[in-house]
Each structure stands twice: as C-alpha cells, then as structure tokens.
Amino acid sequence: MDLFSTLYRFQIIPFLKKWNLLNIILGSLDILAIALAFQFAYLLNPVRAGNIFFNEWTYFLLYLVIMPVWLFILYLLQVTEIPRTKRFRILFLEYTVAASVVLMLLILYYFIIKPDQPPRRFLVYVVFLGFIFLLFLRVFEYRIFMIYRSQGYNFINVVLIADDKSLPLIKSLCNTPVWGYRIAAIFTSSEEIKNSYEDRIVIIPEEYIQVLNDLMEVDLIDEVLYVKNKVIPNEIRNVIRSCEEMGIVFRLMYNDERKINLSSAIKTEIAGRKFLTFINIPHNPYALVVKKIIDVFGSLILILFSFPIMLVSAIVIKVTSPGPVIFTQQRIGLRGRVFDLYKFRTMIRDAESLKKNLESRNEADSPAFKIKNDPRITKFGRFLRSTGLDELPQLFNVLKGEMSLIGPRPPLPEETYQYKRWQLRRLSVKPGLSCFWQVKPDRNTIRLQKWMELDLAYIDNWSLRLDFIILLKTIRSVFMRTGL
C-alpha cells in the first residue's frame, strides 16, 4: 500500500513513533467515540434536539464518570491495544461484555440515585451507541494496523522451539505478515522444517539449544515460543530459566487435553493456539493499568507544575555556558530498545571529547563513568545534579512511553555490552526516573553488585505501594540535595 510509503517519505510515521503518539491518538479516538455516543443519545431526546450535552452539567458529569470507567473495563479485557491475531468475533464478544458491564453500572446508578435526569432511555442509548462506535473504531484500526504490519512494521521478534507438528503454526506466522511476527530462528530436529524454511529463517539443530542463550544476548528477541507437540519438562525449565535471566517472555503451547504443572502462568492465544505465557515480572493487570495512568497523567501534571523551573534552568544554562540547553543521549529501554534520553546539560560543551583524558580517574566499579569533582561539570550543572533537577526533561520521555516515573535507570549501550547474564533482566521492565538505589543518600558510593541487586529486587517485589514510597523518597532527596 502506497499510503504508508508516503507517510514514511514525509516523516509522518517516524515522527509518530519517535514521540510515541500512536497510543495517545488511539486513546483519544476512544474518548471521542464515547463522547459521540453521549451526543447522539442526547439528540435522540426530542426535547433537547439541536443542543450539545456538554452544556448540561448532569450529562457532562455523567460522561466524565462513565468514560474512564468504560476505558478501564476495556483495558482489563485487553482490547485497548490493537490485537495481532484475534478473531473479529472475539472482539465483538469482548466489546459486548464491556458494554454489558457499563449498562449494569448505569442501572445501579439509576436505581440507587434515582435521578430526574437523565432518563432511562438515554442510558440505554449511550451504551448501545458506545458499543457500536467503539467496536467500529477498533475494527477499522485493526484493519489499518494489519496493512501497516504487512509492510514490515510493528513486528515482534520470536524464536521457536519446534517439531514436525509445528509446521502449520510456522506456516501461519510466515504467511500472515499482518500479524507482525518475525521469526528470528527455529530450534528443531525436524528435517521437514529445515528443508522448507532454511532459505529464509535461521535453522539451528535442537541439540544446540544452549545457543539460545547467546542468541538472546546478541539479537533483539522479544519472545521465545515452545511449540513442540511433545513437551520435555527439563528442556522447558532450562529455557524458562534463560528467558528469566534475560527478561524475555516465554510461551508454551498447550491444549486442553494436556495437563501441565510447571509453574503459574498466564493463558494467552496466538494464531488460534493456546499458550501458557511465563513473565518474569509481577503481573497484576489492575495495578499495571493504574501505573500506566499515573505515568501519563503524573508526567503531564509534573511538566505543567515544573515548567517555570525548567524555563529558568534553561535560561541560566544558556547564559552561563555555551552549548545546547538539552543534552540528548542514547539509552537502552525495555528489552533492549534504544531511545533518546533528555537531560538538562550540566557539563561544558566538549565534555565527551575530554572524557578520554579522565578515564584513569574513573571511580565506578561498573561500565559507567563517574569521578568525584568532575572538572567538566559547570557550576550551575553541579546544582542541577545535586537536586536532581537535571532529570526534569525526562518527564517527556515518560509522557512518550519510553520510560516510567519509577523503575531501573536506563543504561548506556556500552554498559549493557558488559553486563553479565543475570544483570540483563534489568531490561525486562521500562526504565524509570527514579529507583531503589537512586533515593539512597550514599547512592554514588554504591557498588555495581549492590546496585544491580537493588534493581532486580524492585522488579521482583514491584507494587504500587513500593512505587509510591520511592516517589516520596525521591522528592525528599531533591530537597536534601544528595545527587552528587
């Protein structure tokens, strides 16, 4: 389709991807669909024909309550994101369930509150029209993304562990580019798979399954799929252990007849096949949606409140030191994705070129570079670092979805090259503005081993309460100026 080539040529899609605007656009369209449902339901009342429901406080307040509740229900049903292999009848069922829940809540509202306005007929119209608009919108978006993925974009890199019985699934993944799955390699002993796919996919004999560890280290792998008909528990346990070390999702294909008791897992579906999905991070859908909402709205609110500070800081940086106000640096994010991290510039303009002359004074026991009283730091930069205000521009990274407010700090690419295998699990969650070790008063003297252990402890024990505690301690460290 020439449309996407044109959008790429004019830098439209790269711009949307860089600023992570697609999720914001999709969410805004859902909000608009519910608003249209309210408006059409409002117009169906002859007494109010020609008016706008926003003009009446009762209707507007009801919209402000129902809209986020409806979106939250859709999120819990995992239909707010564009699906890859989901059938349309499943989408229809999920949106029907969401609309039914909203209708029940509105019925409870009507019989408990017993309001004069809006009438019962209006509530039924809202739910029915909202269901129609939201479903139509999601199906339309689904179609657009299918075309987008068929052009080679928005794909997931997977490694398969397969046998002869896996051929139909492999064929489906290869011949259905609209799903967006890219097979990076197949571990198999099947001659049929080898003869059919060795010209376009890396085929590795299954007896060399230990090579998977090296493959996950050097290549960008999102998921490992165990799709063999015969399950070998010991082999699965070894693969799960490797995936846990690297923070990579592992999926085990199963059927209802086979009883498997390996560990707790989430039931998912890909291309009509059932999988047990093993995720090595806490998986609480309710808490995760709250964290996502806090990240988006929290970063937006913090940007608005800190804008005067950021403006003054930008002016002082520009006046006191030649060079750009914002320092942009490549960092590693979720599962090895590279992104541009923003910070206020705290060093002189040629700081990177002077780094070689100072490497002998490096005090860090890690790939990171850190020395006390770094001569490259400007006077105002030292103040920004001690208060942590140099990190404020990263709120835009959070708003873009590249980072979270709380999480392990994003490493430099050269740092990850020197990580040990167990340290790579830091990349299994989104990086954050602040974390366990960063709120400690002696954070600059913490050794690498302890630093990594604290990050992994955060991942293993994550909760909203823990995020809140770290956030409060981060605010305290700003006022105590423990950044240097």
Q: What is the pLDDT of residue 261?
A: 45
Which of 18-27, 158-167, 247-256, 339-348 is predicted with the least confidence, judged by mean pLDDT?
18-27
Residue type, 396: F
> Is the pLDDT at 310 greater than 90, yes or no?
yes
Cα-Cα-Cα-Cα dihedral of 358, 364, 366, 368, to 10°? -50
Strands 249-254 and 181-188 come out as unpaired
Q: Scanning the structure block, which residue is given the tokens 């699934």?
A: 169
Which residues make beta-bridge pairs with 252?
226, 276
Burial of 158 (0-12, 13-18, 19+ CB in 10 A): buried
What pLDDT band is residue 316 in, cutting at 50, 70 and 90? very high
Tell me how far CA of residue 17 lies from CA of 146, 157, 170, in angstroms. 17, 18, 29
d(CA 90, CA 270): 13
Note the pLDDT tens digit of each residue in 159-188.
999 988 889 888 888 888 878 888 999 999
Residue 433 main-chain phi, psi, to 5 deg: -70, -35
> Is the pLDDT at 437 greater than 70, yes or no?
no
Note the pLDDT tens digit of each residue in 51-68.
788 888 888 888 888 888
> Is the pLDDT at 10 greater than 70, yes or no?
no
What's the pTM value of the predicted model, to 2 decimals?
0.54
Percent of the chain's residues with pLDDT above 90:
10
Note the pLDDT tens digit of each residue in 232-241.
777 887 888 7
What pLDDT band is residue 263 in, cutting at 50, 70 and 90? very low
244 compared with 345, residue with greater pLDDT: 345
Average pLDDT, the chain: 79
40 compared with 246, residue with greater pLDDT: 40
161 compared with 11, residue with greater pLDDT: 161
Peptide bond into 118 cis (omega under 30): yes
Q: What is the pLDDT of residue 343?
A: 92
Tell me how far CA of residue 385 lies from CA of 266, 276, 367, in angstroms. 42, 45, 20
Second-level CATH architecture of 156-278: 3-Layer(aba) Sandwich (3.40)
Q: What is the pLDDT of residue 422?
A: 72
Which residues make beta-bridge pairs with 70?
none
Percent of the chain's residues with pLDDT above 70:
79
In this prediction, residues 467-479 reach a mean pLDDT of 78
CB 254 within 8 A of CB 225: no
Q: Where in the chain is the domain with CATH 3.40.50.150?
A: 156-278
In this prediction, residues 241-245 reach a mean pLDDT of 78
What pLDDT band is residue 342 in, cutting at 50, 70 and 90? very high
What pLDDT band is residue 1 in, cutting at 50, 70 and 90? very low
Note the pLDDT tens digit of each residue in 348-374.
877 666 666 666 566 555 556 666 777
Cα-Cα-Cα-Cα dihedral of 412, 415, 421, 427, to 10°? -10
